[in-house]
Amino acid sequence: MFQWMRKMRKQRRKPWQEVLVDEEGTKKVSASVKKNKQILEHAYHACADLIIRSFATKNSVENNMLIAYLGGTANVEEINEHVMKGLQSSNRPLDGLKALEQSVAITDTKKIHTFNDVFINIADGKPVLFAEGINTALSLGMSKWATRAVEDTQTEPVIRGAKEGFVESMQVNVTLLRKRIRTPRLKLKTLVIGDYSRTQVALLYIDGLCDPELLKEVKKRINGIHIDGVWDGGMVQEQIQDNQRSVFPQILTTERPDVVCASLLDGKCSLIFEGSPNTLILPTTFFAFMQSPEDYYVGYMISSLLRMLRFGFLLIALLAPAFYIAIVTFHQEMIPTTLIMAMTSMREQVPFPALVEALVMEITFEGLREAGVRLPRQVGQAISIVGALVIGQAAIQASLVSPAMVIIVSITAIASFMIPHYELSISVRILRFPLMIIAGVFGLIGVVLSVIAIIVHLASLRSFGLPYLEPLAPFKKHGAGDSIIRRRLQHQTIRPHLTGKTWNKYRRWKE
């Protein structure tokens, strides 16, 4: 029956329509400037920001040249300096494409034959130049977009290591990577997503390290996306990851160029989106979410200890409230006698069962957290003061919650902030609530069996074919040195084997 329903749903889906290839787009660039101008004006009618300028070269009487660009996206000074001035004062006759190309003092030029390409180039901010008698247009690489300067990352700060993070321009982001990996083997392919937005996506990989099958699969999945517009990698991530119904992220998101570079050298590939500072790294394992780039910059001892600490706090973030509920409700014998006396006297005042108490506090905390993110920075302070009062002192004095519960909630909060990557901490936050309810109903056995179910789920996940718990389950000897602990870099000589047959086994500097 389910198959039948699925079939029905498939039939109802409307076929995707190519949007940009409309009537004008299919036309070829004509040899007549006048005709080209008409087509442009027709396509861009009611677009006040399009600048079309016809002009004549020195030895022509009529207007035999045409330049078109979107105001604000192209570098006007350079157009005036290198294109207009040169063409208007040039004595050479423009009797062919080659002559036209030579008379424009610009390195990045591209020949265009159809209007579809003309529209794409104009949208990219590249001025397009038409000439009388030549049925090919010339796009001039002189785009100049307004972007933020490269700044510190706000979301993934480190104490030691590079501070700069990606910005909203793909070109700048790629430069940040090229600055770090200076080999021509760093390859870049551009894909386009979004029927209206035509967002450019750069697929980066290192030739010889990355599995070609993986690249093929990534391209296939991206080409399968049909969406109006893409404004962030997250919109694509949701649609290309293997298990789309899982709470766990199967693609790593980062704002840091050094993280991307390290992953590229591991044989992974990366997606950079025009207009978003968040890049995707794939395939990814669970342990990548528990690692901070700083782990490799400080000593191996402290980073191993910190990693273990993080895993401990991951368990606390997931299980602390559930354990508290289970122990207080079912397993009082676990608590030492003096402590249980103290706890009973604390809980005496509270009219609710432990489950309700914990749920109320956790939900309040989640509310505070969400409010803190959305509020403008000036008001954010106020929320934290009010929150501290609400969650802390006042709730206890009103005997709505016991002091022990406040401790549990605060430890959980601290623990959830210890997870280096935000996406994983979201998964933990989501799973915490069902676990609390199960703990209240079935006690510890319910919690343990739920954790087993979560682990089964994690073990069943794959990220582009790579098992999610890779270096530990299935166990890989060389990979395990960089999972819960970090071995010294001298000993990490073997590159992880991700997918497919391509496996450049030894890291170059070992040879």
Partner 1 sequence: MIQSERISVFQFYLPIFVGIITTGVLTMPLVLYQAAEQNLWLPLIVGSLSGYVAVAVVSYLYHCYPQQTIIEILQQRMGRVIGTGCALLLILCLVLQGVYITREYQMYLSINFYLYMPPFILIGLLLAVVLYAIRQGIEVLVRCAVLFAPLILGIHLLICILIIPELSPYRLLPLLDHGLLAPLQGTLAPIVWFSQFIWCAFYMPAVDVPAKKMFVSGCWFVLATTVALLIIFAVVISFLGDATVQYLYPFDMVERYVQITGILERSSVLFMIVWLLGIFVKVASLLFILNLAVAQTGRGMRYRKTSIPVTVVFFLIVLALFPTNESLQHEGRLVLYLCSVAGNLVIPLLLVIFLLIFRKAKGKTRMQS
Closer residue to partner 1 (CB): 226 or 331: 331
- Torsion sign (Cα): 361, 366, 371, 377: positive
**Longest Cα separation, the chain:** 103
List the x/- string, 55-84, binding to partner 1 by CB under 8 A. ------------------------------
Instruction: Among 472, 480, 485, 494, indicate the residue that binds partner 1 (CB under 8 A).
Output: 472
Q: What DSSP state is assigned to residue 293?
A: G
Q: Are 33 and 62 in contact (CB under 8 A)?
A: no
Closer residue to partner 1 (CB): 414 or 445: 445
Which part of the chain contacts partner 1 (CB under 8 A), choosing from 128-136, 168-176, 470-478, 484-492?
A: 470-478
Positions 321 through 340 that interact with partner 1 (CB under 8 A): 330-331, 333-336
Strand partners, 465: none
Q: Structure tokens of 104?
A: 């424009």
Among residues 360, 441, 445, the alpha carbon closest in space to that of 408 is found at: 360
Instruction: Among 296, 311, 352, 442, indicate the residue that binds partner 1 (CB under 8 A).
Output: 442
Which part of the chain contacts partner 1 (CB under 8 A), choosing from 51-59, 225-233, 292-300, 456-464?
A: 456-464
The position carrying tokens 């079939």 is 7
Q: Does 437 bind partner 1 (CB under 8 A)?
A: no
Instruction: Among 453, 489, 505, 510, indicate the residue that binds partner 1 (CB under 8 A).
Output: 453
Which part of the chain contacts partner 1 (CB under 8 A), choosing from 63-71, 200-208, 250-258, 450-458?
A: 450-458
Residues 6+ apart with CB under 8 A from 221: 239, 240
Q: Does 455 bind partner 1 (CB under 8 A)?
A: yes
Q: Angle formed by the axes of helices 403-417 and 422-442, to 10°?
A: 150
Closer residue to partner 1 (CB): 215 or 444: 444
Q: Does 389 bind partner 1 (CB under 8 A)?
A: no
Pairwise CA distance, residues 96 & 80, whole Å? 22
Q: What DSSP state is assigned to residue 183?
A: S
Instruction: Among 231, 417, 422, 475, indicate the residue that binds partner 1 (CB under 8 A).
Output: 475
How near is the Cβ of 451 to partner 1 at its closest, in Å?
9
Q: Does 446 bind partner 1 (CB under 8 A)?
A: yes
How near is the Cβ of 456 to partner 1 at its closest, in Å?
4
Sheet holding 109-112, edge to edge: 50-55, 65-70, 128-131, 137-140, 109-112
Complete DSSP assignment for 10-66: HHHSPPP---S--TTTTSBPPS-HHHHHHHHHHHTTT-TTEEEEEE--TT-SS--EE
Q: Does 302 bind partner 1 (CB under 8 A)?
A: no
Closer residue to partner 1 (CB): 430 or 445: 445
Q: Does 503 bind partner 1 (CB under 8 A)?
A: no
